[in-house]
Structure 1
Amino acid sequence: MRDPYDVLGVSKTADEAEIKRAYRKLAKKLHPDANASDPKAQDRFAELNTAHEILEDKEKRAQYDRGEIDAEGKPKAPEFTGFRGGGPRRGPGGFSGYDGDTIFESFSFGPEGARRSSGRGGGGGFEDIGDIFGFGRQRRSAGGGFAPQPGADMEITLPVSFEEAAEGASKRVGLPNGKQIDIKIAAGTREGHRMRLKGQGEPSAMGGPPGDAYVTISYAPHPIFERDGDDLRQNVDVALADAVLGAKVRVPTLKGAVELAIPAWTSGGRTFRLRGKGLPTASGGHGDLLVRTNLVLPKDKDGDLEALMKKLREQAD
Structure 2
Amino acid sequence: MPKPLLMDHDGAIDDLLSQLLVLTMPDVELIGVTVTPADCYIEPALESAYKLLQLMGREQVPLGRGDYYGINAFPSEWRARPEIINALPLLINLPKSPDPYGYLSAPDLIIRQLSTATEKVTILMTGPCSNLVMALEKAPELKAAIAEIVWMGGAFRTTGNVQTFQHDGTAEWNVFWDPVCSQKLFSYELPLTLIPLDVTNHVPVTKKFLSTLASQIDHKLSNLTGQFWALTLDTIPSYHYTYFMWDILATSYLAMPEQFMIETAKANVSTRPPNAGQTYLDENGYTIRFATDVNVAYFYEYLLAQFRQ
- TM-score bin (small chain): under 0.3
TM norm structure 1: 0.20
TM-score scaled by length of structure 2: 0.20
Q: Which of the two has greater helix per residue?
A: 2
Pick 1 or 2: higher relative contact order, CA cutoff 8 A, min separation 6. 2
Whichever of the two has the greater Rg, that structure is 1
